[in-house]
Amino acid sequence: MSNAQVGLFAMGTVSHNYLEFSLLPNGDGLELVRAVANIETPQSSVNGLNMVVGIRPSLWASLAPNDTPPQVHDFASPLTGPDGFSMPATQRDLWVWFAGSSISQVFDASVGIIEVLTPYAALAEDLQGWSYRQNRDLIGFIDGSANPSLLEAPDVALVPPGTPGENGSILLFQKWLHDLKSFGSLRTEDQEKVIGRTKLDSEEFEPEELPKNSHVARTTLNQNGKELPIFRRNTAYGTPTENGTVFVGFSSDQYRLHEMLKRMSGIPDGTRDALTYYSKPLTGSYYFVPSINSLRSFADKTEFLTFEN
Ligand code: HEM
C-alpha cells in the first residue's frame, strides 16, 4: 500500500514556489532523485509547509520501471496548431513545489533546496505563485470551479491502486503569460465567451450557448459519454506589468492533459482555444509525481532544510 504526496491535495495555501531543475552535464539522475528523496523537513506535520516533487517521466521510468504507468512521456516537442500557434516544450528533470501560508517559509525552503541540489542540478525555473482574490486568475475569473471535490480528487488525480505507478500522479506544468490589456479591452460578455463561464460567479453556459472555441469547450473531454476531468491547482504569478497563470494540472493518466493541450492548440479540428489569443504558454513540462513511498524508497539518509516558521 502506498500513499500520495499529501501536498497535492493541501488546499488553502497562499504562497507558492515552483522550482524546475536540469541535471548538470553528465549528471546522474539517480543521485538527483536520491538527494531530493532524502529531504525530510517540509514533510513534518508541524510547520504547515508542503513539498511536492515531480520527476521527468523518462527519468523516472529508467529508475523505477515497475512503478511507472505505461506510456508516460516527456513534453518532448512543441505542440503546433494548423495556424502556427505553438506550445513550447521545455522539459526539465525535476520539479519541486513548496506551498505554505507565508512567503518566508516558502522562500527559506526554496533557498535550502537549491543549495542541497546544487551538486546535481542547475535551477532552470524559479516561479513564485500566489492566490489572487482568493481563487481567481489574473484575468478576473474564478479558476477551479469545475475541479472535482476533495472527495473525488484522488480518483481524478492519482494512478489507480494496483496498477504501475499507483498513487502517483501525472503533472502538466506550464507558465502562461497574460496580455491583460487586450483581454481587459473586451466587454465582460465577450470575456465570458472566451472562457465559457460568467465572470462574477462562474456560472456555466447552457450547452447550446457555449461557444465552440471557448476555453471550457476546448478543455471538456468526453469518452463514451463520460467526462474525463483533471485536478487543477493553478496560481497567479508576476508583477503588475508582466504576469500570468501558473498552470498546475494533475491527472491519473497523461492522455487527458495532452489531449486538452492539443484541443487548445486546434490540432484535431482547427478550432483554437479563444483564451490562447490573450495568454500564451512560455514553458511546458510533464512530471511524474510518485507516491511518497516510491520516492522515499530512493532515500539513503535524512537531510533537513533549515527554515523559520
Ligand atoms: C492561461 C492559462 C489558463 C487559464 C487562465 C485558465 C482558466 C480557466 C478558467 C477561468 C476556467 C473556468 C472555471 C473553472 O472550471 O475553473 C477553466 C476551466 C478549465 N480549464 Fe483552464 N485555464 C488555463 C489553462 C488551462 C490548460 C493549459 C488546461 C489543460 C491542459 C486547462 C484545463 C481546464 C479544464 C479541464 C477546465 C474545466 C472545463 C470544464 O468545465 O469541464 N486550462 N480554466
CA torsion 132→134→135→137, rounded to 10°? -10
Q: Is residue 2 part of a domain?
A: no
Residue closest by Cα to atom 31 of ligand 1: 219
Q: What number does the ligand 1 atom closest to the CA of 216 have?
A: 38
pLDDT for 302: 84
Average pLDDT over residues 3-28: 95
Of 160, 133, 121, 107, residue with least CA distance to 305: 107
Does a structural domain hold residue 301?
no
Contact 246, 235 (CB under 8 A): yes
Ligand 1 proximity of 282 Cβ (cutoff 6 Å) = no
For ligand 1, atom 37, name the residue with the nearest CA.
146
User: Mean pLDDT, to the nearest integer, of 79-95?
Assistant: 98
Q: Is residue 285 part of a domain?
A: yes
The stretches of the chain forming alpha helices (DSSP H) are: 29-37, 57-63, 103-117, 153-157, 180-184, 188-195, 215-219, 254-265, 292-296
Tell me the three state secondary structure of residue 293: helix
Question: Could you tell me if residue 70 is inside a domain?
Answer: yes
303 domain residue, yes or no: no
Domain count, the chain: 1
Q: What is the mean pLDDT of the chain?
A: 95
Domain that holds residue 206: 13-296
**How much distance in Å is there from the Cα of 232 to the middle of ligand 1?**
8
What three-state secondary structure class fits 92? coil
What pLDDT sits at residue 1? Answer: 80
144: left (phi over 0), alpha (psi -120 to 50) or beta: left
The verdict on the CB of residue 257 being under 6 Å from ligand 1 is yes
- Considering the domain boundaries, does residue 74 fall inside one? yes
Cβ neighbours of residue 30 closer than 8 Å, sequence gap 6 or more: 63, 298
Average pLDDT over residues 163-171: 98
Question: What confidence score (pLDDT) does residue 114 get?
Answer: 96
Q: How far is the CA of 109 from the centre of ligand 1 (A)?
A: 29
Within a domain: residue 5?
Answer: no
Q: Report how far residue 290's alpha carbon sits from residue 170's, in angstroms, rounded to the nearest whole number.
A: 9
- Does any ligand 1 atom lie closer than 6 A to the CB of residue 98? no
β 50-55/235-238 pair status: unpaired
Distances (CA, A) of 95 to 155, 159, 191, 216, 217: 23, 19, 33, 27, 30
pLDDT at 309 over 60: no
**C-beta separation of 266 from 249 below 8 A:** no
Which pLDDT score, from 0 to 100, does residue 269 have?
97
Q: Which atom of ligand 1 is nearest to the CA of 141?
A: 10
Lowest-confidence region among 41-45, 63-67, 117-121, 134-138: 41-45
- The CA-CA-CA angle for residues 167, 22, 158, to 5°, reads 10
Task: Please identify, by atom number, the ligand 1 atom nearest to the C-alpha of residue 257.
Answer: 30
CB of 145 shorter than 6 A to ligand 1:
yes
* Mean pLDDT calculated for residue range 23-43: 91
- Does residue 126 belong to any structural domain of this protein? yes
Residue entry with cell 516558521: 309
Say whether pLDDT at 167 is over 90. Answer: yes
Q: Choose which residue among 75, 85, 143, 243 to substitute to test ligand 1 binding: the one with the highest number of ligand atoms within 8 A of its C-beta.
A: 143
Q: Whose CA is closest to atom 35 on ligand 1?
A: 219
Q: For residue 204, which atom of ligand 1 is closest to its CA?
A: 40
